[in-house]
Amino acid sequence: MALISRKSDAATAINYTLNQWAALTRYAKDGLPEIDHNIAERGVAMYCMIGTCMLNGINPKVYLTHMLDRTADHPVNRVDELLPWVVADLLPRTGTLD
């Protein structure tokens, strides 16, 4: 029988699978649970964006519109220029969700 190192990538993957066995079998039997938590992560990201806008006195809808209008042509290495506190002086300072 061939053995693999406990520190190998294969061993790490096998151990992860064994540690997640209950969730994996629940998913395989039921099919209703999501295989990943991307939906929840997107919700948290939106919640954080809205909260950050509110803390900076910016209407989140106005900020999101501002950001989406600029992201296609904006260099990825300058994404920090689109952060809410950076553009706060360019946008109406309402802080409401209207």
Instruction: Give the tens place of pLDDT for each residue, 78-97.
Output: 999 999 999 999 988 764 55
The alpha carbon of 80 is separated from its chain's Cα centroid by a whole number of angstroms, namely 17
Q: Is-contact 59 53, C-beta < 8 A? A: yes
pTM over 0.95? The answer is no
The single residue listed with the structure tokens 């994996």 is 24
Spatial neighbors of 52 by CB under 8 A, at least 6 apart, are 84, 85
Spans of all domains in the chain: 58-98
95: its two tokens = 């802080």
Task: Read off the pLDDT of residues 62-74 as tens digits, 9 standing for 90 and up.
Answer: 999 999 999 889 9
